[in-house]
């Protein structure tokens, strides 16, 4: 298995092969920490917990919003509601949002990706 993300980014759409133990496996690589799975590729995401979820954290998502139909947000082991202003900011470009536990978000991402849907995921790593 390859090392962590090259320069923090791997291009292309890849299913999440595994999650837990503080990271994720995808594209024959493993990565410790949180990730963004966007239409352009998968990148490291410098968010360690739900308390860090703000508009700045979602800037890369908003930059690709026109290519995203559904955004799945994995908030860790527990579902953590996002502040209403942030929800509206993310919905404004037309994305549908679903906030859930990281494991459920990763599984749902894989299903929607296999259906060739325009899906993205913001996934907080869980131990």
- d(Cα 35, Cα 25) in Å, to the nearest integer? 10
Spatial CB neighbours of 88, under 8 Å, sequence gap ≥ 6: none
- d(Cα 69, Cα 67) in Å, to the nearest integer? 7
Average pLDDT score over residue span 102-126: 98
Give 27-58 pLDDT, tens digit per residue: 988 999 999 999 999 999 999 999 999 999 99
- pTM of the full structure: 0.93
- d(Cα 27, Cα 29) in Å, to the nearest integer? 5
Give 59-97 pLDDT, tens digit per residue: 999 999 999 999 999 999 999 999 999 999 999 999 999
Please say if the pLDDT value at position 4 is more than 60.
no
Task: Determine the pLDDT at residue 9.
Answer: 83
């Amino acid at each position: 298995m390859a090392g962590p993300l090259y320069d923090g980014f791997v291009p292309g759409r890849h299913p999440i092969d595994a999650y837990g133990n503080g990271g994720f496996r995808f594209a024959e690589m493993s990565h410790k920490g949180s990730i963004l799975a966007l239409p352009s590729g998968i990148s490291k995401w410098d968010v360690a917990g739900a308390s860090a979820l703000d508009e700045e954290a979602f800037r890369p998502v908003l930059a690709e919003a026109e290519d995203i139909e559904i955004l799945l947000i994995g908030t860790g082991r527990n579902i953590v509601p996002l502040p209403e202003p942030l929800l509206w900011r993310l919905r404004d470009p037309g994305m549908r949002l679903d906030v859930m536990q990281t494991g459920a978000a990763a599984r749902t991402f894989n299903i929607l990706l296999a259906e060739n849907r325009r899906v993205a995921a913001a996934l907080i790593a869980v131990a």
